[in-house]
Amino acid sequence: MTGADAEAWITGIGILGPQGCGWDAVVRGLQQPTPLFQPVPPAWQAEPGVPAAWTAPLAADAEAALQPFDTASADRACAMALAAADQAWRQAGAEPQPRRGGVWWGTGMGGAQSTEQSYRRFLLERAALRPMTVPRIMASSPAAQIATRHGLRGPNLTYAIACASAATAIGEALLALRVGRVDLAIAGGSESMLQAGVLAGWQGLRVLSTLRQAETAAQACRPFGAGRSGLVLGEGAAALVLERPASARARGARPLAILAGYGSNCDAAPSLVHPQADGEADAMRQALADAGAPADAVGLVNAHGTGTDAGDVAEAEALAAVFGTGRAAPAVCATKSHHGHLLGAAGAMEAVVSIASLVHQLVPATLGAEPRDPRCAHLQLAAQPTGRPLDWVLSNSFAFGGANVSLLFGRAPA
């Protein structure tokens, strides 16, 4: 779909993550990249099945920023969501839209912290559960509380599609804006899964990077690198304020970037956890077609790039199918090598990374990718942040269950 009404203006951004709190922290992290990983706390490793794995917890300033939102009714993931949405709202200079504003939110595991705490309280401590247990656990609680805080009485939708949750929420918000269902949307995702039980569950899949495999943080998450050891689970939240261009222009707002294309599909493959390159390629083509943009217009692809063997190879194959393998292929980055994998919030975190890349005309570094896996040798990865003219950035989120989502972001109009 093309034309002014086909795109959404991104007028506000909020973020809490391992790299810190706010837009400036994201930009600093891209300009001065480092792996933000810490080992699982030793006390957790005493629990059955919890590995000595690497994790990416919130930075100290992000931790402080969520504290005002840590209430009786808000799980940690919900508090993160509220803090990120507040940042985005302030940056956008938005006003309440009682009937013309809504919330589209993504989370893979909902109130995971409250779920684990409640099971411990009920089964181990044999104590009654707290009155707000159910609202804290609800996956839809962040969207509901964001809407309440900002007076948004339009659609209020939550997507739980594993690693594609937030990217789906952002894409579906774009569709709602296009058809005029709303004038403004808060869209994004949050995830707080650094809990002993969650880590034990992920260890069952044998995809986590552990201290046995990677002795240092620099070795922990190495997307597309030879001998990579797996993924690093992180936590955080990111929120975007999306607006119809006419509505934003009428109130004097200016965009940071635009969202112009959205592709989404399902592999429908026998395995829920094995990625399919053809489905991933189709999602990228859908996003390009949706925006009316040719493949050679894309200057950068923000890869899903988790650091797992099967996932990285499938995505490398998909990228070759869409863009080719020659010098004209776009640059590729995998910033999970900085901030880890935020699961349901990953698509929102990496949407912000994509927007920052456009604003600062920067190809982010992919840490630890050298020496390269020969099966991924055709990808144009940067070992250090690299300046490059960028008009379009494609961001990928590929999930367990075969859900594939691609979002196409463009430079703000002059």
Same domain for 161 and 64: yes
> Same structural domain for residues 128 and 17?
yes
Residue 163 is among the residues annotated as catalytic for this protein:
yes
Type of residue numbered 163: C
Residues 108 and 217 reside in one and the same domain: yes
Which is catalytic among the residues 221, 333, 341, 376? 341
Domain that holds residue 147: 3-251
Is this prediction's pTM over 0.85?
yes
The answer to whether residues 326 and 382 belong to one domain is yes
Residue 392 in this model has a pLDDT that exceeds 60: yes
Catalytic residue among 21, 78, 150, 163: 163
What confidence tens digit (pLDDT) does each residue in 334-385 have? 999 999 999 999 999 999 999 999 999 999 999 999 999 999 999 999 999 9
Quick: pLDDT tens for 292-326: 999 999 999 999 999 999 999 999 999 999 999 99
Look at residues 95, 96, 89, 105 and name the one whose alpha carbon lies nearest to residue 13.
89
Active site residue 341: yes
Residue 152 lies in a domain: yes
Same domain, 335 and 219: no
For a pLDDT cut of 70, what percent of the chain falls above it? 99
Q: Are residues 331 and 209 in the same domain?
A: no
Q: What is the CA radius of gyration of the chain?
A: 20
Final residue in a domain of this structure, among 251, 278, 304: 251
Strands 380-381 and 184-191, bridge-based pairing: unpaired
DSSP 241-295: EEE-HHHHHHTT---SEEEEEEEEEE---S-SSS--HHHHHHHHHHHHHHHT--G
Residues 222, 300, single domain; the answer is no
The rounded mean pLDDT for the chain is 96
Say whether both 247 and 294 belong to one domain. Answer: no
| pLDDT score recorded for residue 368 | 97
Mean pLDDT of the 216-232 span: 97
For residue 331, give the nearest of 366, 356, 355 by alpha carbon: 366
pLDDT at position 282 over 60:
yes
Q: Residue 110 burial (CB < 10 Å; 0-12/13-18/19+)?
A: buried
Cα–Cα nearest to 73, from 122, 151, 16, 138: 138
Lowest mean pLDDT among 112-121, 246-255, 313-322, 343-352: 112-121
Q: Which of 21, 78, 304, 376 is catalytic?
A: 304
Number of domains forming the structure of the chain? 2
pLDDT surpassing 90 at residue 120: no
Distances (CA, A) of 35 to 30, 81, 88, 216: 11, 23, 26, 10
Kindly indicate the confidence band of residue 3, based on its pLDDT and cuts at 50, 70 and 90: low
* Residues 163-172 pLDDT 10s: 999 999 999 9
Asked which of 223, 251, 279 is the last residue of a domain, the reply is 251
Is the confidence at residue 2, as pLDDT, over 70? no
Does residue 409 form part of some domain?
no
Residue 256 lies in a domain: no
Q: Final residue of a domain: which of 221, 251, 281?
A: 251
Does residue 393 have a pLDDT over 80? yes
Residue 4: pLDDT above 60? no
pLDDT digits (tens, 9 = 90+) for 36-70: 999 999 998 988 999 999 999 999 999 999 999 99
Model confidence at 327, pLDDT cuts 50, 70, 90, reads confident
389 — pLDDT class (breaks 50, 70, 90)? very high
